[in-house]
Structure 1
Amino acid sequence: MYKVFVNDTPIILTSSSQKENNFPTYLFKNIIFDEIIQKLKNKELLGVYLHSTDLENDWQSFLTNLEVIPAAGGLVLNPKKEVLFIFRNGVWDLPKGWLEKGETIETAAIREVEEECGIFNLKLIKPLETTYHIYFHKGIKLKQTYWFLMTSDYQKKLIPQIEEGITEVVFKNEIETIDALRNSYENIKLVYDTYKEG
């Protein structure tokens, strides 16, 4: 299954007939891609299932409609197992950003977390999740973000990257994290759920 968000509204590409909610289902081979995207963008649909008979091939076909922009980021834990959050554009988020030319996803993930949060001593623990998010800027783009679980024992003051619109950087305990996720993106909730599932 692949889940792609358009403004927090999901496109669920799946070969399963089981549904978690009442989104309409379309056969992947019959869809008109631009129509589906417009309906989601305009909030005419709260979500959509695209039923596939060949998931990997259909996923590759889906990607041909989009310019894919690779990005990487981290869910960072301190020694108290608190989660590092950034506050940007009125929403709690996790640090992430685009890959630079020739950069590996691991290097990009560490660099972006360091730049956005002013944190160091980062250790990569394991890959967590890859999330997909469609946005509109000179055409339709798909941000494909590779997330990693990281730890840091850095004790100094964290510095938000103001020029990137980040106004706060803070570690949150579990109760504060659950509260922050109420004002976050669906992709960030997916990353956190993946971390909690172990």
Structure 2
Amino acid sequence: MLQMYKVFVNDSPIILTTSQKNENNFPTLVLEDCSLEDLFYELQENRLNGVNLYTPDLEIGWAVFNCFFVKISAAGGLVLNNAEEVLFIFRNGKWDLPKGKIEVNETIEMAAIREVEEECGIQNIKLIKPLLTTYHLYFYKQIILKETFWFLMSSDDNNTLTPQLEEGITKVSFKNNEQASIALQNSYKNILLVYDTYLKM
């Protein structure tokens, strides 16, 4: 299986890979020869739909890539209820999954549970297993690389869900497969990755 890192700028991917085969319609650049800052703005302004970044050693290339940006770590969850419906939040005009930054002296698992509880007003969260880690770049005073650790979770809490309004969340709801498919049409590529990973499990 081809190993790669996929980092999104909005919904456009930077695919860090050791393969020189172009298996998509994106241009292929050599990591050591390109300006990552310029590449970020090209993607942010939709002048590129995506790009492959070639590196002969994936882990060394990933370490080099990380050195160019300020990294922020977050954690979140794909939460199932007893009917195996998935918990979604609605924020900034898009359907999303609950997540947030990891605080000082907090483990990844603790942060994931806390963020789900705070953003959705839900209790009795149980961790099942890790799902994957997603990455995206955005600009806030400088270019930030955000890594988010995702967990599969469950909850048997039947109380009314409460969106965390101060975080811009206006709706929280469990969705069945059909409803989730509709919601994901108005979501982010990283969230699609999380949901697809869950389905494959």
Please, what TM-score do these two structures have when normalized by structure 2? 0.97
Partner of 1:156: 159
2:75 is matched with which residue?
72
Asked if the contact 2:131/2:150 (under 8 Å) is kept, the reply is yes
Name the aligned partner's letter for residue 162 of structure 1.
L
> Quick one: which amino acid aligns to residue 49 of structure 2?
L
Segments of 4+ in structure 1 off by > 4 A?
A: none
CA distance in 1 between partners of 2:150 and 2:198 (Å): 10
| Cα deviation, residue 19, structure 1 | 3.9
What is aligned with 1:62? 65
Measured in 2, the distance between the counterparts of 1:37 and 1:129 equals 23
Give, in angstroms, the shift of residue 18 of structure 1. Answer: 4.0
- Residue aligning to 1:32: 35
1:1-198 correspondence runs (5 A): 1-198=4-201
Q: Secondary structure at the match of 2:47?
A: coil
Deviations 1:39-87 (A, max 9, x none): 1111110000001101000100000010000000000000111000000
Report the secondary structure of 2:15's partner residue: strand
* Counterpart-to-counterpart distance in 2, 1:130 and 1:160: 24
Distance 2:45 2:51 in 1: 13
5+ long unaligned stretches in structure 1: none
Q: How many angstroms apart in 2 are the aligned matches of 1:188 and 1:141?
A: 18
CA distance in 2, matches of 1:178, 1:90: 16
Offset from partner CA, 1:118-159 (integer Å, 9 cap, x none): 000000000001000111001000110000000000000000
- The structure-2 alpha-carbon separation of the partners of 1:177 and 1:18, relative to structure 1 and needing over 3 Å to count, comes to farther
Q: Residue type of the partner of 1:182?
A: Q
Q: Scaled by the length of structure 1, what TM-score is found?
A: 0.98
The alpha-carbon deviation at position 20 of structure 1 amounts to 3.9
Output the CA distance in 2 between the equivalents of 1:20 and 1:163. Answer: 43
Distance 2:22 2:161 in 1: 42
Identity of matched residues, %: 61
Gaps of at least 5 residues in structure 2 are none
Number of equivalent positions: 198
Distance 2:76 2:20 in 1: 32
The alignment partner of 1:127 has SS state of: strand
Structure 1 residue 16 displacement after superposition: 2.1
Q: What CA distance in whole angstroms lies between the structure 2 residues aligned with 1:42 and 1:118?
A: 36
CA displacement, residues 88-107 of structure 1 (integer Å, 9 cap, x when unaligned): 01100000000111100000
Q: Which amino acid aligns with 2:132?
A: E
